[in-house]
Each structure stands twice: as structure tokens, then as C-alpha cells.
Amino acid sequence: MFMRTFEEKWTAWIDGQLSEAERAEFEASLEDRAAAGAEKEQAHKLGALLKAELQPRPMGNEDFFQHQLRQRIAAEAWPGGRAKPGLRETWWTIPRLVWMGMTSLAIFAVCTFFVMREEPAPDQSQYLSQILNAKVDPNVSPHATVSIFQTKEDHVTVLWVDGLKSLPPEYAAK
């Protein structure tokens, strides 16, 4: 027979698993038997409380859980750790997802290249040339001045008209 440690004897004493001779010997080795008895009583109360209050929750979705267990058991039973050939595998494996992602990015890049090609802008729009060729009627607005500011690198033209009372009818929105 092997020798038990104090902790093993203590646990067996609380659980009531010591024989009469072992129990008598263990109780004789205790320094304060009354305190040990009170601690034993507290341990029994705590055990009863835990048994009453901590009931396992009912597991939901039992069929899915059992299905997962069956797949794991089948995978462990088959050589090489793979599932038997009869089990269903998903089509979206990691390598296929990677290839689909790379293909999608390539198609996106090609479409972006063809759609976003920058066409060279004409030097002047047809509306700007109409405005530049027009003259302000001195009878309608005698103090009107027209200033034009252009920047070629930004493709911006600002037409500043000062003192114009009304726009001639030929400039109506087209």
C-alpha cells in the first residue's frame, strides 16, 4: 500500500472515504479537531449548494453537435486524418477562395484600366470660344468690362464680367 499525502488524506476524510483505522489515525494527527470538523461541515454545505445551484444547461441544437462529433470521429478513424471519401466537403476551400480573390482583383484592374483611361481634353471648349467671340453691347451696359483668366495646367478658365446689367438673349442656356 502506498503512502498518501496530507492533502489526499484530508480530501478522503472530508469525502468520508477513509477506513475506520485510517480515520482514527488522521483525526489523531489533527492539531485542532474542532476547527477541522467545522471546516468539514462547511465543505459539505458548499458541495450541497453547488450541486443544487450549478446544474448543467441543456444543450441546444443537438443534431448539429452530434454531426460535428461524427465528422471528427470519422476523420480520426480514417488513415491520414482525412475524412472518408463519402463525407461531403465544401466547395469553398481556402485555395479556391484565394484563386477567386486574385481573379476578381485582376478583372477589376483590367476594367479599371479601360474605363479610367484619360482622354486628352481639348484646348478650349466650344462654350468658351462663343463667349470670347461675343461682345458686350455698349447700349445695354456702357460700363461693362470682361476679364478672362486662364490656366492651361489646371484646365480652368474664369470669365469675370463686371458692370453687366443683363445678359443678351443669345446667351440663354442651351
Rounded CA-CA distance 145/162 in Å is 5
What are 54-104's pLDDT values in tens digits? 877 666 666 777 777 888 887 777 665 555 555 556 777 888 999 999 999
pLDDT for position 77: 73
Q: How far apart are CA 159 and CA 144, in angstroms?
A: 13
pLDDT digits (tens, 9 = 90+) for 9-67: 889 999 888 889 988 988 888 888 899 999 999 999 998 998 888 877 666 666 777 77
Position of cell 492651361? Answer: 152
Going from the C-alpha of 102 to that of each of 91, 95, 105, 107, 108, the distances in angstroms are 17, 11, 5, 9, 10
pLDDT digits (tens, 9 = 90+) for 133-157: 556 666 766 677 777 777 777 777 7
Query: pTM for this one?
Result: 0.32
Predicted confidence at residue 166, as pLDDT, reads 67
**Where residue 174 falls among pLDDT bands split at 50, 70, 90?**
very low
Q: What is the pLDDT of the chain when averaged over all its residues? A: 76
pLDDT for the residue 123: 60
DSSP, residue by residue, 30-46 = -S-HHHHHHHHHHHHHH
User: What CA–CA distance (Å, rounded) separates 29 from 82?
Assistant: 58
Amino acid (one-letter) located at 120: P
